[in-house]
Amino acid sequence: MTAQGPTPPPAEGRRGSAREVGAAVLPPRGREAFAFLGLGSNVGDRLETLQSAVDLLENRPGIRVDAVSSVYETAPVGGPEQGPFLNLVVRVATRRSPQRLLAACQAVEQALGRVRVERWGPRTIDVDILLYERRRVLTRQLEVPHPRLPERPFALVPLLEVGHAEALPDGRTIASLLAALAPIDGVTMVGAQVRPPGEAGPSREPST
Ligand code: A4P
Ligand code: MG
């Protein structure tokens, strides 16, 4: 099964040697923080790109992919006329600060050939931090929770799957955010799945 319920992050990660400098912004010593990342692709082999992104995230120091949601095909929101997205959400356990986690997300985007042409435009891959524990972060580069999360079923539906007990820092639950948007259109679970890192088996675009 690819979708798993959230489990508390273990006290020690597998990459104990990956502890980074900049202690002031690290999670408390000796434990990992958890975060939820939203992934989206609407260019090329979307499913293969999502699989590669999940695998690359796992390979970054200080990041462990803990759970992977189902894959959803979603109607594009905003931007120019463009093709449908595949979206999913992963839960990660991480020793990285939010800022360093963003750097890892952007490194994965670059490794997969993301070119920033137009805001909200078509993209091979987008990796956003949706939640980092129940913390608020607001810097010039980063806002967490993701500011548009409450209005986006394409992120909330997969997030509910792997983070059903989660809430925003203001206490609003994922379920209540989704309920406020009901009825939900344009988010369809597809049969094809992205494997958690290390699990065997081919990924394929769903046949149409
Ligand atoms: N940034 C600030 N906060 C965050 C965060 N929590 N996570 C900054 C990630 N990045 C964050 O992002 C622009 C800048 O946002 C980054 O440099 C980072 O410092 P970007 O990925 O370069 O550009 P973008 O994604 O085009 O802009 P933006 O505003 O992040 O777009 P969104 O909100 O991510 O929306 N429709 C469907 N169906 N599925 C999608 O996945 N995605 C978008 C992109 C639009 N429509 C979509 C989908
Ligand atoms: Mg983005």
* Domain regions of the chain by residue span: 19-190
The ligand 1 atom nearest the CA atom of 41:
41
Q: Which of 149, 150, 153 is nearest to 183 (CA)?
A: 153
Whether 95 and 62 have beta carbons less than 8 Å apart is answered as yes
pLDDT at 6 over 50: no
Q: How far apart are CA 180 and CA 174, in angstroms?
A: 10
Q: Cα(121) to centroid of ligand 1, in Å?
A: 10
pLDDT at 21 over 80: no
Q: Which is the catalytic residue, given 64, 95, 96, 128?
A: 128
Is the C-beta atom of 77 inside 6 A of ligand 1?
Answer: yes
Residues 45-50 have a mean pLDDT of: 94
**Cα separations in angstroms, 184 against 5, 156, 177:** 22, 11, 11
Q: Cα(128) to centroid of ligand 1, in Å?
A: 6
Q: Which of 82, 77, 14, 7 is nearest to 42 (CA)?
A: 82
- 59-79 burial string, b = 16+ CB within 10 Å, else e? ebebbbbbbbbbbbbbebeee
pLDDT of residue 116: 62
- 64 is an active site residue: no
Is the C-beta atom of 120 inside 6 A of ligand 1?
Answer: yes
Structure tokens at 187: 């988010």
pLDDT at 113 over 80: yes
Q: How far apart are CA 206 and CA 7, in angstroms?
A: 29
Average pLDDT value for the chain: 84
Instruction: Kindly give, in sequence order, each residue whose CB lies less than 8 Å from that of residue 147, ignoring residues fewer than 6 positions away.
Output: none
| Global confidence as pTM | 0.85
Instruction: Kindly give, in sequence order, each residue whose CB lies less than 8 Å from that of residue 168, ignoring residues fewer than 6 positions away.
Output: 131, 134, 145, 149, 150, 177
Most distant CA pair in the chain: distance in Å?
A: 50
Provide the CATH topology of domain 19-190. Alpha-Beta Plaits (3.30.70)
